[in-house]
Chain A
Amino acid sequence: MIKVHQLVKRFGAREAVRGVSFEVQPGEVLGFLGPNGAGKTTTMRMITGFLAPTSGTAWVHGFDVSENPVAARAKLGYLPENAPSYGDMTVEEFLRFIAAMRGFSGAAARKRVDETIDRCILASVRRQPIETLSKGYRQRTCFAQAILHDPPCLILDEPTEGLDPNQKFVVRNMIREMARSKVVIFSTHILEEVEAICTRAIIISGGAIVADSTPAELRKQGALDEVFRRLTTTADAEIPAA
């Protein structure tokens, strides 16, 4: 379970996130929607503990992220924005490193790495340095890193950004497969993606939640992109996007 309560983040005078609260249960796939600069990434970074909230609390699997960061992160898989990874390592070396950091060693680590490579369809590039790979493979390598330890909670920041339609299809299927037993939060600004895989959608704009509903419910209010525009343009006008 992931729970956030009244999260606020200020950067200097600018309030990037203003009092966001929600709770996500296992089996739920939460689509985190919003225009650029709405506070999606900042909110996710506070849940992972990469940024400390100005006020408010986030819990991952029952652990308070500020008070018990290491325990919380052990239960979390995280794909940061732009899918960073160590370019000088091969896919296999990189995943071995992650496995070791996640506390696996010996045969267990090898098994994890092999399974994850198969699951993310990386077998053909496992011995290639990551910096030589195309964007789609790099994205999947970072995705592999997030799911390697089979975490109960997954946070994915724009997992399909910059991928071609085939690659998007693969990543979406992976998310859907993950979703059965896990808490999944992923951000996107591709609306059909929300309809395709989410059980719930939160629209965030100007740092605050403007809608928390199911894709089907949102659908009733009109075409999804129109609903999105109506909900996000007013709030956007108040706050300059960063």
Chain B
Amino acid sequence: MKPTLTILAREWRAYFNSPVAYVFIVIFLALMSFFTFNVSRFYEAGQASLDRFFFWHPWLYLILVPAVAMRLWAEERRTGTLELLLTLPVTTAQAILGKFLAAWLFVLLALALTFPLVWTAFYLGRPDPGPIVTGYLGSALLAGAYLAVGALTSALTRNQVISFILAAVIGLFLLLAGYPPVTDALYAVAPAWLVEVIAGFSFSAHYEQLQRGVVDLRDVLYFASVTGFMLLATHVALENRKTK
């Protein structure tokens, strides 16, 4: 446990030792407000609800989260510190977990900084707090899943650009597979059961459930399994490097 926490702390500091943290947080908050207020017309809608805010999270994460994850392993490989890290008395699993948790906590910090929006909604009206709480929960789980995808692509290459693009494409697939405009089009050409299987892999449906204020254990388990699977694949990728 202690090595995991030590790595977590180092990674956390690495974000703030470089401009990455500040750029990410500023861009994340700026884009989040832009889409919520200017594109979705939060005020004009006249509803005390954060639906219009949560709607944008999967799309913003799609490009921003791979940027947080891309350095996790690719940077260590490029600079050679991977050799240093993995010859310290730690297991590969502890290192993966420490790095993932640091990245996740960092994105959660950015997410937490959107609190003025919640405050605004409560100031202007009487929103139902349930969907807001579960919306944040869904967003946090979603960010974790995106990050785990990014951790995997980062472990596969020493090139951060490739890691970024791969993570964004896999994320896009996981998102679009269940996005209504896409599934509607698929229903026209494929049997319904097939469309539902594909859509079942998607972030969208599970995220929407949580946004509506429904905490179904299956949705939580879905995100946990995607995250777990990707981190396991990261482990395989890093162990494979040894024997290649």
- 29 A-B pairs with C-beta separation under 8 A: A50-B87, A51-B242, A52-B242, A52-B243, A70-B89, A70-B90, A71-B89, A73-B87, A73-B88, A80-B80, A80-B87, A81-B80, A84-B79, A84-B84, A85-B84, A86-B10, A86-B14, A88-B14, A89-B17, A97-B10, A98-B88, A101-B3, A101-B6, A101-B7, A101-B88, A103-B2, A103-B89, A142-B84, A145-B84
Q: What residues of chain B have their CB less than 8 Å away from a CB belonging to chain A? A: 2-3, 6-7, 10, 13-14, 17-18, 79-81, 83-84, 86-91, 242-244
* Closest residue on chain A to residue B86 by CB atoms: A50
Closest approach, in angstroms, between the C-beta of B17 and any C-beta of chain A?
A: 4
Within 8 A of B (CB), among A184-210: none
State the CA gap A155–B18 with chains docked (Å). Answer: 32
Contacts of B88 in A (CB 8 A): 73, 98, 101-102
Instruction: Please tell me if A78 contacts chain B, counting CB pairs below 8 Å.
Output: yes
Chain A, residue nearest B243 (CB): A52
| Interface class of chain B by DSSP | helix
Q: Which of chain A's residues 40-64 have a Cβ closer than 8 Å to chain B?
A: 45, 48-52, 54
**What are the residues of chain B within 8 A of A74 when measuring CB–CB?**
89
How far is B91's CA from A45's CA once the two chains are assembled, in angstroms? 16
| B23 to A: closest C-beta gap in Å | 15
Q: How far is the CB of B129 from chain A (nearest CB, A)?
A: 40
Check B81 against A85 for contact (C-beta < 8 Å): yes
Assembled-state Cα–Cα distance A145/B89 (Å): 13
A100 sits at the interface (CB 8 A): yes
Q: Give residues in A with beta carbon < 8 Å to B.
A: 11, 45, 48-52, 54, 69-71, 73-74, 76, 78, 80-82, 84-89, 93, 97-98, 100-103, 142, 145
List the count of A-B residue pairs having beta carbons below 8 Å apart. 68
Docked pose: A68 CA to B3 CA in angstroms: 17
Enumerate chain A residues within 8 angstroms of B7, measured Cβ to Cβ: 101
* Top 7 A-B pairs, shortest CB-CB distance: A84-B80, A88-B17, A74-B89, A52-B242, A100-B6, A80-B83, A48-B87
Bound Cα distance A217, B61 (Å): 65
New A-B contacts (7) at CB < 8 Å, excluding given A78-B84, A86-B14, A145-B84: A48-B87, A71-B89, A84-B79, A85-B81, A100-B2, A101-B6, A101-B88
Asked if B79 contacts A87 (CB within 8 A), the reply is yes
Q: Given B6, B18, B81, B243, which contacts A84 in the complex, CB threshold below 8 Å?
A: B81
Closest to A70 in B: B89
Of B79, B89, B244, the residue contacting A101 (CB under 8 A) is: B89
**A102 to B87 Cα, complex, angstroms:** 11
Q: List residues of chain A with CB within 8 A of the CB of B79.
A: 84, 87
Residues from chain B with a CB closer than 8 A to the CB of A84 are: 79-81, 83-84
Residues of A within 8 A of B243 (CB): 51-52, 54
Q: Assess whether B10 is in contact with A49, with CB atoms less than 8 Å apart.
A: no
Q: Among B6, B83, B244, point to the contact of A50 (Cβ < 8 A).
A: B83
A80 touches B84 (CB 8 A): yes
Query: What is the CA–CA distance of A87 and B244 in the complex, to the nearest angstrom?
Result: 28
A102 CA / B17 CA spacing, docked (Å): 23
- Measured between C-beta atoms, what is the minimum distance from A142 to chain B in Å? 8
